[in-house]
């Protein structure tokens, strides 16, 4: 009887602990989802509702909503309720075009990828596996990625494609670096020379191409507008962070491991190829 009682008590304890673990995991997932949702929700509000509305263009004329009309709205999404012409004021207008679908696809991809990254990082923090130095690198990436999405949004929306492929080069290479950064945010992942050199080489390319393209003239020579200078500094700081922090982490944890000659050759070659593509082929 004593043995059976002991087994039954152990079963109850195991069942209770399992139930508690499931509840903790559910709360953790909910916390990650809600936090990621709030961050994504606040980004466009800070961008348009605060920076643009309050600081950049605070003196724009008010719109007369009672007499406002829009003659270039195709009204397709309104169905049979309205026909093209002088339609009433709408908070959001969008036309049924290929560009609108691309904007939706781009926005959906940005939101989903960013949300998953945030949930992954929050999960690492809850599991005490977050590498804080690499988290700083990831945070510095938020502005460049948000700017990439916003630029592509406007390229499609305005049918302005003069700088589209040039910006696409920066966006895709930045995305590749961010994939490695998010991977290295896990403290259980080893920081190796190959991973670090991917991030550092991309940042070096961005610094060189950006410097030859706009940074020197708009910032140092003071030929750019205020928003252009702020934008370029906003790109410069993350690139330096992407070089400094990963290299510091590597040399602090290398344990006698050095970069091989082949890795150094690939590093130099990737910078040379990146500068050629970004500076000479896409401009």
Q: What is the pLDDT of residue 181?
A: 96
Same domain, 148 and 242: yes
Same domain, 18 and 137: no
Same domain, 132 and 215: yes
Domain with 143, as residue range(s), is 98-283
| Mean pLDDT, range 248-253, rounded to an integer | 83
Q: Which of 21-30, 86-95, 262-271 has the lowest mean pLDDT?
A: 21-30
Measured CA distances, 140 to 112, 239, 250 (Å): 19, 9, 19
Q: Which of 15-29, 30-44, 250-264 has the lowest mean pLDDT?
A: 15-29
Same domain, 130 and 189: yes
Spatial CB neighbours of 145, under 8 Å, sequence gap ≥ 6: 110, 114, 171, 174, 175, 178
Same domain, 92 and 102: no
| Mean pLDDT, range 140-165, rounded to an integer | 92
Query: How many domains does the chain fold into?
Result: 3
Same domain, 203 and 275: yes
Q: Contact 181/251 with Cβ under 8 angstroms?
A: no
pTM of the model: 0.85
Strand partners, 70: 87
| Mean pLDDT, range 191-206, rounded to an integer | 93
Rounded to an integer, what distance in angstroms lies between the CA atom of residue 185 and that of residue 237? 19
* 136: DSSP letter: H
Backbone dihedral region for residue 75 (phi beyond 0: left; psi -120 to 50: alpha; all else: beta): left
Measured CA distances, 107 to 99, 112, 149, 150, 250 (Å): 12, 9, 7, 9, 35
Residue 254 tokens read as 């290398």
Q: What is the pLDDT of residue 7?
A: 44
Phi/psi for 70 (5° steps) reads -135, 105
| Mean pLDDT, range 144-160, rounded to an integer | 93
Residue 116 binned pLDDT confidence (cut-offs 50, 70, 90):
very high
pLDDT above 90 coverage of the chain, percent: 46
The answer on pLDDT for 5 being more than 60 is no
Same domain, 151 and 122: yes
Same domain, 35 and 158: no
Residue-averaged pLDDT of the chain: 85
Instruction: Report the Cα 75 to chain-centroid distance in Å.
Output: 33
Residue 14 tokens read as 């195991």
The answer on pLDDT for 6 being more than 80 is no
Q: Contact 278/165 with Cβ under 8 angstroms?
A: no
Phi/psi for 87 (5° steps) reads -80, 160
Same domain, 124 and 259: yes
Q: What is the pLDDT of residue 15?
A: 53
| Mean pLDDT, range 72-93, rounded to an integer | 87
Same domain, 216 and 277: yes
Same domain, 103 and 202: yes
Same domain, 121 and 176: yes
């Amino acid at each position: 009887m004593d043995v059976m009682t002991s087994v039954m008590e152990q079963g109850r304890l195991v069942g209770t602990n399992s139930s508690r673990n499931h509840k903790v995991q559910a709360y953790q997932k909910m916390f990650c989802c809600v936090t990621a949702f709030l961050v994504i929700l606040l980004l466009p509000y800070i961008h348009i509702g605060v920076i643009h509305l309050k600081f950049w263009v605070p003196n724009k004329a008010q719109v007369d909503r009672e007499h406002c009309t829009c003659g270039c709205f195709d009204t397709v999404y309104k169905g049979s309720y309205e026909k093209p012409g002088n339609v009433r004021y709408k908070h959001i207008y969008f036309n049924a075009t290929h560009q609108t679908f691309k904007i939706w696809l781009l926005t959906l991809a940005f939101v989903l990828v960013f949300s998953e990254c945030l949930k992954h990082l929050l999960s690492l923090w809850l599991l005490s596996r977050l590498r804080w130095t690499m988290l700083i690198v990831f945070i510095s990436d938020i502005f460049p990625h948000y700017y990439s999405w916003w630029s592509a949004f406007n390229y499609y929306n305005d049918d302005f494609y003069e700088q589209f492929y040039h910006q696409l080069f920066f966006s895709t290479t930045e995305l590749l670096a961010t994939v490695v950064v998010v991977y290295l945010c896990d403290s259980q992942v080893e920081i190796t020379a190959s991973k670090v050199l991917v991030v550092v080489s991309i940042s070096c390319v961005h610094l060189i191409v950006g410097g030859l393209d706009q940074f020197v003239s708009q910032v140092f020579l003071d030929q750019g507008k205020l928003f252009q200078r702020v934008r370029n500094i906003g790109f410069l700081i993350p690139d330096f962070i992407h070089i400094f922090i990963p290299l510091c982490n590597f040399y602090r944890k290398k344990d006698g491991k050095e970069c091989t000659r082949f890795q150094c050759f690939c590093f130099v070659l990737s910078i040379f190829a990146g500068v050629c593509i970004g500076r000479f082929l896409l401009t």
